[in-house]
């Protein structure tokens, strides 16, 4: 006979279990419901952010103010639905805790941005727009920059903290439905943080750098990525830029032939520098940036240029043809004296390859084309007809790829520059270990137009003492045609060091400060680690030879110094392909 089961038949343990399961289910329903409402609010906020940026760029201040208010409502709504004791507790629950914690962090940081970073920028935009950072009639309004500075202070601070908080989220541990939107939001905030930092630094530095307190003269260097050097390419086209009370002008120009080769080093090299790079970096202008440390390279370049141009330069500014291509998207096409039209899509091909095909035997004409390109783009930028937003976006993008570099001989200005992403200083932090992969041509030619390279860094193990084991993978490939040996000598070189059509590249691997390079392999074959040290960092040199169509894989195992638990950062030589730089990787030490 069947008997009904009553409450008296349920054991205390079963009752507790049932109650806990019921509570967990109710909590799960609560979190799902609240998370769904927060997600809707965050999607709305993202759309409003895009609209707000467009309105600010167009100078639509009233519309921007209205959108900013809507944005604050949306982020506050998302924050409200993801805050409180239950959400704080839920972030520690196994399995779903990471997802709950990520939602809390995203909502809180976006709300802070909307509440504290956006309003002052919108307020000041009524008087000052993005065009403040680009010249009009050859002049940048220095007083407007000074007015903008207070509004950018808080925006920079808030966005930097938001970038740090969102960067700490391990998106790989999130459920699929959260991973993509949070990754996208994190990328948006990172871009915004970099832009805010760049704008803040510009407002801080530009008034003095642009001659607000006296005339300044800078050497503008266009690096040539077709003959690769650690910071990008050999220093090719040179121009004198004068800045006086915000007014910019370009004067005398020249090329590597203007400088020549010195009988003795133009600066005193350290023993480390002589060992790792040789004395050529201080006797041959073309090799001044064998070092990846741009401030040091700039000092050497200036020492050469001061004498050649009979000028005392206040600093060095460096860009490359990839940057020029980005800028042309904002200034529009320019027509050179030889009839060549440079556009955003053609600049790299024309300046790094086409010129060597058209003027294979005319070195002077090659230099004239480079000088003409630099002057034409400069004139278009300072003339005031460029699209200010696109020009600023181009400069920000180039800076993120380490293509725009600035050095000042004034210690106070240089100190400020080094707090930006423009200094090109060789990274050397200990808690956040820095790894570098830097390339230098050994062919004596322009074959790196055909070089494809990429690097990836992983932290694979945490050892005692907060030491990390790092795994670095670098690939190099030649996209040169099979008949590359038939290309002009101006491209292939004369075959002095390698057969024509073959390119040689010296790959320098920089270990973290105080760390070690433990193992190097090329295509799976162990290599002898050779090189030296530079400023407390071990440097290994890996010579690579690439025939047309050939590729090489370099694998490196490294160990950091003790007390280096942070995210490792990988810096690389900018090539002709767009690529992010100073990329951080998740630490195995947590």
Beta strand 467-478 with 551-559: parallel, antiparallel or unpaired?
A: antiparallel
Cβ distance 501 to 464 under 8 Å? Answer: no
Q: For residues 380 and 447, state if they share a domain.
A: no
What percentage of the chain exceeds 70 in pLDDT?
A: 79
Reported as a single tens digit per residue, the pLDDT across 151-192 is 777 777 777 877 887 777 776 655 555 566 667 777 777 777
Range of the domain at 520: 427-585
Residue 176 counted as domain residue: yes
Taking residues 218-226, report their average pLDDT: 97
Least confident of 16-30, 215-229, 379-393, 417-431: 16-30
pLDDT at 200: 75
pTM greater than 0.85 (yes/no)? no
Q: Which of 188, 208, 228 is the last residue of a domain?
A: 208
Q: For residues 199 and 284, state if they share a domain.
A: no
pLDDT band at 40, cuts 50/70/90?
low
* CATH number where 160 lies: 1.20.58
Residue 422 counted as domain residue: no
pLDDT at 386: 85
pLDDT at 59: 61
Q: How far apart are CA 56 and CA 64, in angstroms?
A: 6
Q: For residues 174 and 198, state if they share a domain.
A: yes
pLDDT band at 392, cuts 50/70/90?
confident
Q: How far apart are CA 253 and CA 276, in angstroms?
A: 32
Which residues fall within 8 angstroms of residue 104, CB to CB, at 6 or more apart? Answer: 82, 83, 87, 88, 91
Q: Look at 185 and 486; give whichever has higher pLDDT.
A: 486
Say yes or no to pLDDT of 204 above 70: yes
Residue 232 counted as domain residue: yes
Structural domains in the chain (count): 3
Q: For residues 467 and 579, state if they share a domain.
A: yes
Residue 10 counted as domain residue: no
pLDDT at 158: 76
pLDDT at 493: 94
pLDDT band at 61, cuts 50/70/90?
low
Say yes or no to pLDDT of 92 above 60: no
Say yes or no to pLDDT of 136 above 50: yes
Q: For residues 388 and 533, state if they share a domain.
A: no
Q: For residues 248 and 324, state if they share a domain.
A: yes
**SS3 category, 222:** strand
* CATH number where 252 lies: 3.40.630
Which residues fall within 8 angstroms of residue 107, CB to CB, at 6 or more apart? Answer: 38, 41, 42, 75, 78, 79, 81, 82, 83
Residue 1 counted as domain residue: no
pLDDT at 22: 46
pLDDT at 20: 46
Q: For residues 22 and 106, state if they share a domain.
A: yes
Q: Which of 349, 384, 415 is the last residue of a domain?
A: 415
Integer-rounded Cα radius of gyration of the chain: 28
pLDDT at 205: 81
* CATH number where 500 lies: 2.60.40
Q: How far apart are CA 78 and CA 71, in angstroms?
A: 11
Residue 29 counted as domain residue: yes
Residue 9 counted as domain residue: no
Q: How far apart are CA 542 and CA 521, in angstroms?
A: 10
* Greatest C-alpha distance within the chain: 112
Q: Look at 27 and 316; give whichever has higher pLDDT.
A: 316
Q: Report the mean per-residue pLDDT for the chain.
A: 84
pLDDT band at 234, cuts 50/70/90?
very high
Q: For residues 390 and 448, state if they share a domain.
A: no
Q: For residues 396 and 515, state if they share a domain.
A: no
Q: For residues 353 and 249, state if they share a domain.
A: yes
Q: For residues 237 and 186, state if they share a domain.
A: no
Q: For residues 132 and 149, state if they share a domain.
A: yes
Q: Look at 41 and 43; give whichever has higher pLDDT.
A: 43
pLDDT at 21: 47
Residue 526 counted as domain residue: yes
Least confident of 21-30, 55-64, 179-188, 358-367: 21-30
Reported as a single tens digit per residue, the pLDDT across 288-323 is 999 999 999 999 999 999 999 999 999 999 999 999
Q: Which of 415, 446, 463 is the last residue of a domain?
A: 415
């Amino acid at each position: 006979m069947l008997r009904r089961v009553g409450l008296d038949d349920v054991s205390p343990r079963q009752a507790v279990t049932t109650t806990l399961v019921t509570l967990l289910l109710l909590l799960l329903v609560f979190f799902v419901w609240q998370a769904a409402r927060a997600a809707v609010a965050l999607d709305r906020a993202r759309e409003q952010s895009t609209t707000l940026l467009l309105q600010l760029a167009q100078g639509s201040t009233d519309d921007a103010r209205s959108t900013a208010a809507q944005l604050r409502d949306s982020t506050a709504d998302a924050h409200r639905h993801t805050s409180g004791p239950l959400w704080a507790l839920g972030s520690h629950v196994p399995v779903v805790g990471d997802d709950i914690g990520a939602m809390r962090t995203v909502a809180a940081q976006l709300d802070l941005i909307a509440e504290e970073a956006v309003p002052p920028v919108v307020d000041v935009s009524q008087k000052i727009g993005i065009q403040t950072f680009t010249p009009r009639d050859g002049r940048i309004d220095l007083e407007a920059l000074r007015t903008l500075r207070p509004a950018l202070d808080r925006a920079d601070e808030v966005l930097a903290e938001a970038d740090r908080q969102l960067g700490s989220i391990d998106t790989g541990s999130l459920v699929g439905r959260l991973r993509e939107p949070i990754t996208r939001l994190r990328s948006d905030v990172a871009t915004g943080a970099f832009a805010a930092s760049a704008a803040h630094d510009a407002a801080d530095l530009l008034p003095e750098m642009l001659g607000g307190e006296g005339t300044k003269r800078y050497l503008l260097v266009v690096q040539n990525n077709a003959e690769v050097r650690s910071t990008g390419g050999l220093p090719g086209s040179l121009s004198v830029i004068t800045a006086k009370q915000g007014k910019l002008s370009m004067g005398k120009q020249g090329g590597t032939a203007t400088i020549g080769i010195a009988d003795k080093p133009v600066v005193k090299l350290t023993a480390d520098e002589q060992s790792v790079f040789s004395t050529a970096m201080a006797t041959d202008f073309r090799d001044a940036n064998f070092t990846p440390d741009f401030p040091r390279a700039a000092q050497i370049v200036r020492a050469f240029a001061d004498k050649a141009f009979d000028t005392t330069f206040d600093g060095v500014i460096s860009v490359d043809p990839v940057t020029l291509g980005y800028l042309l998207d904002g200034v529009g096409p320019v027509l050179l004296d030889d009839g060549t039209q440079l556009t955003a899509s053609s600049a790299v091909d024309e300046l790094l390859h086409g010129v060597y095909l058209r003027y294979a035997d005319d070195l002077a004409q090659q230099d004239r084309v480079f000088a003409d390109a630099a002057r034409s783009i400069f004139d278009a930028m300072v003339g005031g007809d460029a699209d200010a937003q696109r020009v600023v976006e181009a400069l920000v993008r180039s800076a993120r790829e380490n293509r725009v570099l600035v050095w000042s001989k004034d210690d106070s200005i240089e100190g400020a520059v080094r707090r930006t992403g423009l200094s090109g200083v060789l990274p050397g932090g200990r808690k956040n270990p820095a790894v570098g992969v830097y390339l230098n041509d050994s062919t004596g030619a322009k074959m790196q137009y055909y070089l494809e390279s990429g690097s990836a860094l992983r932290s694979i193990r945490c050892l005692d003492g907060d030491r990390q084991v790092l795994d670095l993978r670098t690939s190099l490939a030649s996209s040169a045609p099979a008949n590359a040996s038939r290309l002009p000598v101006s491209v292939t070189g004369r075959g002095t060091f390698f057969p024509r059509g073959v390119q040689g590249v010296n790959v320098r691997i920089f270990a973290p400060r105080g760390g070690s390079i433990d193992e190097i392999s090329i295509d799976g074959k162990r290599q002898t680690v050779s090189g030296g040290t530079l400023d407390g960092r071990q440097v290994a040199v890996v010579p690579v030879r690439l025939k047309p169509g050939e590729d090489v894989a370099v694998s490196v195992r490294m160990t950091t110094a003790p007390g280096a638990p942070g995210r490792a950062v990988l810096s690389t030589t900018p090539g002709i392909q767009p690529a992010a730089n100073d990329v951080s990787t998740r630490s195995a030490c947590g």
